[in-house]
């Protein structure tokens, strides 16, 4: 990993951690050389990814992986953090849709 890319990802992680997202959502990182907070190792994306997880009352866990593709890594740290925040919001909408269905 290049130094510039590492610095960008360090900044992105700090921005995401400081953004207000649902406190019930766990955000784990698999960014070797920057931050690894997940031990799932289930995704063999060939590169870094972020994992969102949510379990209502500790039951029925929902997990989503977001690979940090080359096109994502070309974004500024702020744009990438905004994209991740948007992805978390969509993740919550999908969970709500599954749990409560169309009414």
pLDDT at 67 over 70: yes
Average pLDDT over every residue of 22-31: 87
Q: What contacts 14, CB < 8 A, 6 or more positions away?
A: none
Q: What pLDDT is attached to residue 45?
A: 52
Cα–Cα nearest to 1, from 28, 26, 27, 36:
36
What's the whole-model pTM score? 0.80
pLDDT at 25 over 60: yes
pLDDT at 85 over 80: yes
Confidence tier at 83 by pLDDT (50, 70, 90): very high
Region of residue 38 (left: phi > 0; alpha: psi -120 to 50; beta: else): beta
Give residue limits of the domains in the chain.
3-100
What span, in angstroms and rounded, lies between the C-alpha atoms of 91 and 93? 5
Q: How many residues does the chain have?
A: 103
52-63 pLDDT, tens digit per residue, is 998 877 777 889
Alpha helix locations (H) across the chain?
3-18, 70-73, 77-100
């Amino acid at each position: 990993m290049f130094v510039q890319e590492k610095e960008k990802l360090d900044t992105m992680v700090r921005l995401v951690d400081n953004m207000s997202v649902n406190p019930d959502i766990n955000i784990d990182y698999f960014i070797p050389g920057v931050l690894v907070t997940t031990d799932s190792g289930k995704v063999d994306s060939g590169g870094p990814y972020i994992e969102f997880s949510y379990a209502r009352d500790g039951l029925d866990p929902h997990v989503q992986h977001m690979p940090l593709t080359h096109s994502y890594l070309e974004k500024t740290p702020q744009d990438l953090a905004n994209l991740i925040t948007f992805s978390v919001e969509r993740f919550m909408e999908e969970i709500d849709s599954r749990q409560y269905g169309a009414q």
